[in-house]
């Protein structure tokens, strides 16, 4: 969105008020006895808070109600076993956002091919970049209309995301082939049919270290290095306990803008790649990876120090940059949208088993990219990632697909219920 400085200040005030509303609501909810907790009581508390606290009234009434609904839904997700319990939102770590739950308040108007106008409550008319076709004017009807929007701020500025309600027919079963996918660092996505999807950016620098800024071009990397040195120089003059200067804050903001641009490029590549895979294949099989355990530090303790700490740290950064969990999430809903399905199989042994003879021998994976079967009667060699992808598909065909996470949660809760005779 193209906001004026005054409009930016108003939007920032609403976002901070929404975060403070969430924190006050969380504090009120956790201190109240369980028998007195209810949605109606929380709604009355929010209305009273907006009357008593002047700066909370900056947030529109509908946006305050959206905070309550989001908070209540967060507790429902926790009770269902999907997420952890909601917590306080810190000022500098939380994402600044404001919800506009009613679409009739937006009054969207298209100016020309690139830009449009939208009305934001208590902010005014704002120009925004028109990047997708929206059901506005004659295109809008009961089955195809805008139901609301959400304002989100990142290092690049304020953005608006519209919620659109559409009526779509259920997709028919996908007639495409089955495919196994192995996620890696050198080859982001290796397929069992021999194809692969690469983002065209080297994962490592010429000296062999991981390139954490691979989504930036050469000029942007030079600019980032200059900004980081400038920030370190200006930070050296700050005394302990002293506030950060405006110059240092401006430098930090410029660094964050470059980081946000790189993150957007990575997410754009993931969206394009997952859409292509979901359209081409009917059954998609991936490994169930324990990513938090994979990126644990190898530093160890003082008594038992770790080995190859620097190498493991670089590998952890590379794994985090690839965002394998987000890729699986995209494949899950995009496959369902096109009539396909995504399945998960156990990960242990997929990189050590030979996909040709089926033998698992230690040391078969000689390097990150080469697999050589140690079985004397086989001796097959090939790309290690493609070999792992074929093993992933083999596990699915042999009936080793795992139960989805929601299904496992239901099974665990069912096992806790005591038989009727024991009650």
Give the residue with greater pLDDT, 57 vs 423: 57
pTM: 0.80
User: Could you tell me the CA-to-CA distances from 165 to 109, 168, 403 in Å, in that order?
Assistant: 18, 10, 31
Read off the pLDDT of residues 321-375 as tens digits, 9 standing for 90 and up. Answer: 788 889 999 999 999 999 999 999 988 888 888 888 888 877 777 666 788 887 7
Residues 6+ apart with CB under 8 A from 271: 330
Q: How far apart are the first and last CA of the chain?
A: 60
Centroid of chain to Cα 244: 30
Report yes or no: 42 and 72 within 8 Å, Cβ to Cβ: yes
Q: How confident is the model at residue 407 (pLDDT cuts 50, 70, 90)?
A: very low
Number of C-beta neighbours around residue 103 at 10 A: 19
Domain limits of the chain? 1-168, 178-200+268-408
- Strands 189-191 and 178-183 come out as antiparallel
Read off the pLDDT of residues 175-222 as tens digits, 9 standing for 90 and up. Answer: 889 999 988 888 889 898 888 888 877 666 665 566 778 889 889 999
**What token pair was written down for 324?**
């394998």
**What token pair was written down for 411?**
């099974």
Please give the pLDDT value at position 220. 92
Please give the pLDDT value at position 236. 92
Q: How confident is the model at residue 277 (pLDDT cuts 50, 70, 90)?
A: very high
Please give the pLDDT value at position 167. 86
Read off the pLDDT of residues 220-265 as tens digits, 9 standing for 90 and up. Answer: 999 999 999 999 999 999 888 888 899 999 999 999 999 999 999 9
Mean of all residue pLDDT scores within the chain? 85
Residue 274 pLDDT exceeds 50: yes
What's the rounded mean pLDDT across residues 85-113?
90
**Which string of b and e fits 16-42 if b means at least 16 CB within 10 Å?**
bbbbbbbbbbbeebeeeeeeeeeeeeb
- The alpha carbon dihedral of 221, 227, 233, 237 has a sign of negative
């Amino acid at each position: 969105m193209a906001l004026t400085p005054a409009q930016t200040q108003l939007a920032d005030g609403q976002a901070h008020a929404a975060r403070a509303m969430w924190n006050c609501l969380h504090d009120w909810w956790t201190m109240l006895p369980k028998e007195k907790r209810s949605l109606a009581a929380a709604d009355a508390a929010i209305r009273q808070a907006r009357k008593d606290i002047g700066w909370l009234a900056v947030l529109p009434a509908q946006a305050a109600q959206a905070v309550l609904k989001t908070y209540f839904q967060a507790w429902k997700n926790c009770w269902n076993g999907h997420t952890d319990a909601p917590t306080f939102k810190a000022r500098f770590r939380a994402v600044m956002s404001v919800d506009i739950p009613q679409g009739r308040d937006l009054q969207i108007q298209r100016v020309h091919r690139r830009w449009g106008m939208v009305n934001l409550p208590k902010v005014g008319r704002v120009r925004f970049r028109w990047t997708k076709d929206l059901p506005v004017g004659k295109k809008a009807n009961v089955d195809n209309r805008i139901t609301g929007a959400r304002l989100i701020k990142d290092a690049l500025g304020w953005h608006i995301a519209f919620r659109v309600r559409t009526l779509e027919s259920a997709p028919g079963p996908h007639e495409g082939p089955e495919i196994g996918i192995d996620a890696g660092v050198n080859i982001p996505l290796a397929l069992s049919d021999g194809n692969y999807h690469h983002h065209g950016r080297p994962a490592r620098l010429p000296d062999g270290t991981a390139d954490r800024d691979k989504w930036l071009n050469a000029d942007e990397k030079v600019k980032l290095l200059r900004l980081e040195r400038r920030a370190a120089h200006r930070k050296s003059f700050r005394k302990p306990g002293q506030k950060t200067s405006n110059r240092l804050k401006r430098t930090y903001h410029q660094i964050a803008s470059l980081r946000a641009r790189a993150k957007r490029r990575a997410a754009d590549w993931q969206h394009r790649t997952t859409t292509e895979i979901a359209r081409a294949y009917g059954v998609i099989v991936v490994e169930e990876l324990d990513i938090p355990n994979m990126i644990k530090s190898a530093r160890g303790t003082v008594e038992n120090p770790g080995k190859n700490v620097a190498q493991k740290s670089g590998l952890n950064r590379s794994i985090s940059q690839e965002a394998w969990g987000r890729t699986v999430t995209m494949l899950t809903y995009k496959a369902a949208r096109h009539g396909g399905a995504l399945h998960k199989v156990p990960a242990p042994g997929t990189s050590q088993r030979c996909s040709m003879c089926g033998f698992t021998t230690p040391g078969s994976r000689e390097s990150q990219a080469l697999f050589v079967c140690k079985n004397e009667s086989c001796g097959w060699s090939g790309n290690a990632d493609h070999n792992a992808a074929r093993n992933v598909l083999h596990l699915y065909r042999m009936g080793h697909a795992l139960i989805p996470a929601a299904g496992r949660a239901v099974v665990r809760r069912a096992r806790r219920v005591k038989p009727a005779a024991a009650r």
